[in-house]
Chains A and B, each alone.
Chain A
Amino acid sequence: MLTTDKVTKIYNQNLPNQVVAVKDASIKVDEGEVVVLQGPSGSGKTTLLSMIGCQTKPNRGEVIINENRVSKLPDRFLNTFKRENIGFIFQNYQLIPDINVIDNIMLPMLPSGIPYKERIVRAEALMRQFDLMKRRTFDVKNLSGGEQQRVAIARAMINQGKIILADEPTAHLDTKLTGEFLEMISDLKKHQYTVVISSHDNEIINHAVVTKIYTMKDGQVVS
């Protein structure tokens, strides 16, 4: 369903401060799997996840999602593909702080021109699922860490893409909230979502919901 074929990412190519963030990384993720990319800081997990999530293009190699060679797609089609298939949960969530919860959640739907009423229906369904209805008109900057995480997940799911990518989702969370997060991932798995998480948190790595683990070191997949 999702494969990377020897992808390489080089930042500042041909410049004195060149960095090879990922080198010849090949992974395979099947539908419905929960995969973890583990490794220390700087091992290239985030970069690999970014390439899978179409946030950046690899210098070499290919990313193939549902038989689409996404790394070769022109920008316009890539954006549409990304919207329709992938939901990304960023490190630090990357929500827009001055906008309220429901508007943040609906943001990914705006380019598709989905009718307003339908957008509200979808957003409210997710807000109910993640217990955010009471906070719907609050600006995101006024929410707690856990609430912001739930908003980030809801936003990632709003376009009904079946692939969820999460970059260090529990980096700033306590045990309780990490547990809550893992419960949500279990729920996603039950609904046939494909999840790829990059993390060095042992609680996630060792959790039963994880089906496969890839270890990264110095930009390469070692196991």
Chain B
Amino acid sequence: MAFRNLLERQRNILDYSLQNLYRRKEKTLFILVIFVLLISVISSILFITGSLTREMLSTVSELPEITVQKIQGGRQTNISATYLSEIESIPGVEAVDPRVWGYFYLESLEANFTIFGFDLDTLEESDYEKLITENPKFASGKESNNIFKMVVGPGVYRLFKKIAMDDTFLFFNPNWGKSIPIDIIGIFKPETELQSVDLMLVQTEAARKILELPTGQYTDLAVYVSNPEEIENIARKIKLHYPELRTITQSQIQSTYSSVFGWRSGLVLSGLLVVIAAYLVLIWDRAGGLSQEERKEIGILKAIGWDTDMILSVKFIEGLILSLMSTILGILLSYIHIYWFDAVGLREVFIGWSTVYPSFKLVPHIDLKYIMLILTIAVVPYCAVSIVPAWKAAITDPDKIIRNGN
């Protein structure tokens, strides 16, 4: 057959397949909806977990190589300063940074803040400008008179602004006698929102007061190791010499991040059971065989001179177009849902509830191998079950089919 005729024949196959899909509008639409629903929910989950994991993993390399905590009665307790020099003396340890941090729960607002003790004077000018925006209240000329100052995260600032405490916040605890006022001199920039949303960076002295951490005691130790090969060894040594201490390495944190959304995904997927069931029923129905009408149609086509392979091509193309288009549509819709509409509806499941809520834009995470996997799972079985029953009819004598149809 001439090339032109061959091309036209292929186009005819396409035309006939599309016409068939259009003829059976209701069935086509039903299958389309099931597919799009299934694919878009699965893609949405993959996108959101991928994006959040990517966000988490992006700064893991800056964390201390080993975090050391003291465990008492199975729970974390304060770690004494005496461990500092002992750990520092382990060969391979570059530095040990004792940390003062913890939580402050503001009952009236039901908000939980992270207090981190840090001496702002040690912060370089360039870093200060890069990371922090000056509080407009102080920028406009008002003096910061209190001894203690802090830089807060955007979530904290938003909350305090609501209660008109956006310049000075009074920390109060009945045991302290009097309150501790701390000036909010700056707010962390929005780019750091995910990490800094609930943060209050206060002077270490103030942090100790708020967290009631006595001198000589710290929350934990950040151990820096220059040689990555040595991290596990040093962590092991610490545990060996000090069984009361617990070490958490950077790689352990990394693996926690990789799995933290796993169970939430599973939960949403299990809610998809209905749609998955519908998909399986669809496949089963398709594999079960053609309707009398469809079989008769194949018989007629054979009788008027259509080749078997052309009939099979038609059925294959029908399945391919439907499954491929709906898969692509599902993926596109889920992208729009997650990244343009901020995962409305799904976000709460993955991020949870909180009084201090970060507002942030997810970074797209398109893992090509997952897209290919989705395409394969959606398209291949559906095309296969489109052909098999058609093949049985296509190899039968048209005479037999037509007679049986009368």
Contacts and interface: CB of A to CB of B under 8 A. Distances in A.
A16 interface: no
A56 B305 contact: no
A82 B302 CA distance: 10
A91 B15 CA distance: 28
A50 interface: yes
Contact of A115 (B4, B297, B398): B4
A55 B23 contact: no
19 contacts: A46-B403, A55-B398, A76-B307, A82-B305, A83-B304, A90-B300, A90-B402, A94-B300, A96-B300, A107-B306, A108-B306, A110-B15, A110-B16, A110-B310, A111-B12, A111-B306, A112-B5, A155-B304, A159-B305
Interface string B379-406: 0000000000000000001111011011
Nearest to A158: B304
A108 B9 contact: no
Given A76-B307, A90-B303, A111-B307, 8 more contacts: A50-B399, A55-B399, A95-B300, A110-B12, A110-B310, A111-B12, A113-B1, A113-B9
B406 A113 contact: no
A15 interface: no
Interface string A57-91: 10000000000000000011001101100001011
A120 interface: no
Contact of A111 (B303, B310, B397, B406): B310
Interface in B276-325: 296-297, 299-308, 310
Contacts of A218: none
A50 B1 CA distance: 27
A113 B12 contact: yes
A56 B19 contact: no
A205 B26 CA distance: 47
A58 to B, nearest CB: 11
B316 to A, nearest CB: 16
A121 interface: no
Which label, helix, strand, loop or mixed, suits the secondary structure of the B interface? Answer: helix
B6 interface: yes
B7 interface: yes
Interface string A26-39: 00000000000000
B308 A75 contact: yes
Interface in A33-56: 46-47, 50, 55-56
Contacts of B94: none
A113 B297 contact: no
| Top 7 A-B residue pairs of the complex, sorted by shortest distance between their CB atoms | A113-B5, A83-B305, A113-B9, A113-B8, A56-B399, A110-B12, A55-B399
Interface centre among B23, B299, B303, B308 (most CB of A within 10 A): B303
B389 to A, nearest CB: 19
Contacts of B16: 110
A25 to B, nearest CB: 15
A113 B6 contact: yes
A95 B303 CA distance: 11
B402 A94 contact: yes
Given A99-B19, A110-B12, A116-B8, A56 B306 contact: no
Contacts of A80: 305
A92 interface: yes
A99 B304 CA distance: 15
Contacts of B4: 113, 115
Interface of B: 1-2, 4-9, 12-13, 15-16, 19, 23, 296-297, 299-308, 310, 397-400, 402-403, 405-406
Contacts of A76: 307
Contact of A88 (B12, B303, B400): B303
Interface string A89-127: 011101110110001000110111111100000000000
Nearest to A85: B305
B308 to A, nearest CB: 7
B307 to A, nearest CB: 5
B304 A108 contact: yes
B12 A103 contact: no
A79 B305 contact: yes
Contacts of A88: 303-304
Nearest to B2: A113
A48 to B, nearest CB: 11
B397 A55 contact: yes
Interface centre among B13, B299, B300, B400 (most CB of A within 10 A): B300
A57 B400 CA distance: 11
B19 A79 contact: no
Contacts of B301: 107
B256 to A, nearest CB: 58
Contacts of B405: 94
Interface string A4-37: 0000000000000000000000000000000000
Nearest to A93: B300
A46 B400 CA distance: 12
Interface centre among A83, A96, A103 (most CB of B within 10 A): A96
Nearest to A81: B305
Contacts of B402: 55, 90, 94
B315 to A, nearest CB: 15
Contacts of B297: 96
Nearest to B309: A76
Contacts of B308: 75
A74 to B, nearest CB: 11
